[in-house]
Amino acid sequence: MSLVFSGVSFAYPGSDPLFSDITFTVRPGERVALVGPNGSGKTTLLRIAAGLQPAAGSVSCPAARWYLPQNALCQPGEPVAELLGVARKLAALHAIESGRGTEADFSALDDDWGVGERLDAVRGRWGIASIPLDRPFRTLSGGERTRVLLAGAELSGARAVLLDEPSNHLDARARTLLYDYVGRSRAAMLIVSHDRALLELMDAIVELDSGRATRYGGNYTFYSGQRNLQLEALRRRADERQRTLR
| pLDDT at residue 194 in the model | 93
pTM: 0.88
CA dist 241 and 149 (Å) reads 53
| pLDDT at residue 74 in the model | 64
Q: The sheet that has 19-26: what strands, in order across it?
A: 19-26, 3-10, 56-60
Q: How confident is the model at residue 73 (pLDDT cuts 50, 70, 90)?
A: low
Helix (H) or strand (E) holding 56: strand 56-60
Q: 4 near 48, Cβ under 8 Å? A: no
Distance, CA of 205 to chain centre: 14
User: pLDDT tens digits, residue range 76-96?
Assistant: 678 999 989 999 999 999 999
User: pLDDT tens digits, residue range 174-209?
Assistant: 999 999 999 999 999 999 999 999 999 999 999 999
Cβ-count burial of 38 within 10 angstroms (0-12 exposed, 13-18 middle, 19+ buried)? exposed
Q: Decide yes or no: CATH 3.30.30.10 for domain 3-73+159-245.
A: no
Domain ranges of the chain: 3-73+159-245
